[in-house]
Structure 1
């Protein structure tokens, strides 16, 4: 399994985002409906909502705009892709490649997304789709998920596993820090060493070697 992070040019919602240039769209879900248009759900925040909604009404890639939730700083929308929107969207491509959407943010300048693919060939086919259409495509990160969390945890010593578990449980990683080494019945130096080695082992097993 491979996880790819990439950026590309904005096509879906381009006109709406131009109408509210500081708006930030956070992808929630694409829903493919049998014999119907693809539905897109997303949060929008950081811009002028009235301008953005006027832009949505004029945007040629979406239709049937519906506001689902209104909060103080963000709103949840549901739109349907138009025929043009479906042509420019890569939702169907992800489905065809057995990919899984993980996260995504759209701004007036670009689209950033994280997608999980079953193999390297699917990643290559995904990138080729953009190149064949002369669309920008930058692969920001690609890593292989080779082990499960259970496998990674099995490589830790008992003291490393206990230090990580207790530190997480008692707020050691929170800001501000919720506990100290003394509260975990070890010295600060010993705790730091166990955490460093435990985190380093977990990263290496996940295919992300820690940098010295």
Structure 2
């Protein structure tokens, strides 16, 4: 598809949903991609946030590429000290991790910007809070002085539109309920559906790097 085509598809989805294109940001997921690929396929088209799933891979690339970096994959507590290197952590998935991040923020004197990951598909192999856990978890995290909760994130089960659309719709409903502006949802296979259901951040990787 390529980045220009992804942007066109994003704009088309915004039009269908009656939204303005500037309401949705593309996070270019660059895991397992070389610096040269990232420069050629992403950065030559503009300054887009870059998303990485693994901290160590992100740190290597940060030395070579100037960009706004997002962590989109699971964060182990023993790597919480690296969170200040990221403009946004999409994957806050437990209160223990929140406490670790709050301590890091206190130590370095910053408020870390985070999204709470919600496992709306209730898949045991995936990370995140269950929907019924979210109200208490959000209240607890909002009390932590060195964390700033901007929104929610989800990864739906693999499946057709009839499976993923209700998941995206529910995440938007929950974000609205709790007064959270950001909704990180949608990847290469389903980002237009996510935009139609209210995504503000789409995490697209594979589609950017195909010829």
Structure 1 or 2: larger helix share? 2
Q: Which TM-score applies when normalising by structure 1?
A: 0.26
Query: Which entry has the higher C-alpha Rg, 1 or 2?
Result: 1
Q: Which has the higher strand share?
A: 1
